[in-house]
Chain A
Amino acid sequence: MIVLSSDNMRIAKELDMVVFRNRLKEFAVKIGMGLVNQTKLITAASELSRNMLRYAGEGTVLIEIVNGQRQNGVRVTFSDKGPGIPDIDQAMKDGFSTGKSLGLGLPGARRLVNEFDIKSTVGKGTTITITKWKNG
């Protein structure tokens, strides 16, 4: 996959999430992504950035425009040095939550994007990468 452009941001407070969502929208608009796919991508990213803030306290997001599968897409990587997820299979199940949310964050976000990859080590942190294709 070829990376055409990218931007790195730090998420350390709630207002950073708003700035991040706006930046992500700019990237999606730049590649001509339709409104429904834009909304799905930004909603998934909103869930994941909130998780990062809530469980790890802070983290970074990398937004990239990538070319693959004969079309452009937006890839977002969420990295934190938080407590990590002990059981990823369980965390990916609908309705499972250790926090006070509905437990839709991870499985819900996965449904909204085309590619979803999660790596987590207890005590070290979590990295989640999502990709939404322009016409995905």
Chain B
Amino acid sequence: MDKIPILKIGHFLMVAIQVDLYDRLALNLEADLVQAVSKTGARGVLIDISAVSIVDSFMGRILGNIAGMSKILDADTVIVGMQPAVAITLVELGLPLKGVQTALNVEKGMELLQQKIKITEEEEPEE
């Protein structure tokens, strides 16, 4: 069984999808990621889809689920590296990934997540 590795970098988890996803693999990734967020207490999840050549409605739903489930566990999700052709197709398909944050690349995605924790840390009263 294929498995997509989940890397921990500081407060964040990172996943780079490098293979063609079939439905079972995507569902396993969803379960593994949510488990990992809970286990590590990660504050952010970064998913790199730059090597993914198609995102259909099923894959889009999984990405939305991951973002929604992680949010409940207090982690933000950012999808990075979407190919322009994939973005065009998603909008035409009628699935603009509402509620999912995106960034152009891994670097920008990391910056976005870092800003988010900084803001919440400032909001929390100092002990």
Contact = CB atoms under 8 A, between A and B. Distances in A.
B93 A21 contact: no
Interface stretch (B20-28, B71-79, B118-126): B20-28
A46 interface: yes
- The binding surface of chain A is classed by DSSP as helix
Contacts, number: 69
Contacts of A88: none
A47 B57 contact: yes
Contacts of A36: 84-85, 88-89
Contacts of A47: 56-57, 93
Contacts of B57: 47, 101-102, 104-105, 108
A127 interface: no
A40 B84 CA distance: 12
Interface stretch (A1-9, A10-18, A57-65): A10-18
B7 interface: no
Interface string A7-34: 0000000110110011001000000000
Interface string B30-74: 000000000000000000000001111110110000000000000
Nearest to B24: A14
Contact of B94 (A21, A46, A108): A108
28 contacts: A14-B22, A15-B22, A21-B20, A22-B20, A25-B53, A36-B85, A38-B85, A39-B85, A39-B88, A39-B89, A40-B85, A40-B88, A43-B54, A43-B89, A43-B93, A46-B54, A46-B56, A47-B57, A47-B93, A50-B23, A94-B94, A101-B61, A102-B60, A102-B61, A104-B94, A104-B95, A108-B95, A109-B93
Interface of B: 20, 22-24, 53-58, 60-61, 83-86, 88-89, 92-95
Interface of A: 14-15, 17-18, 21-22, 25, 35-36, 38-40, 42-43, 46-47, 50, 94, 101-102, 104-105, 107-109, 111-112
Given A40-B89, A50-B56, 9 more contacts: A14-B23, A21-B20, A22-B20, A39-B53, A40-B88, A102-B57, A104-B93, A107-B94, A108-B95
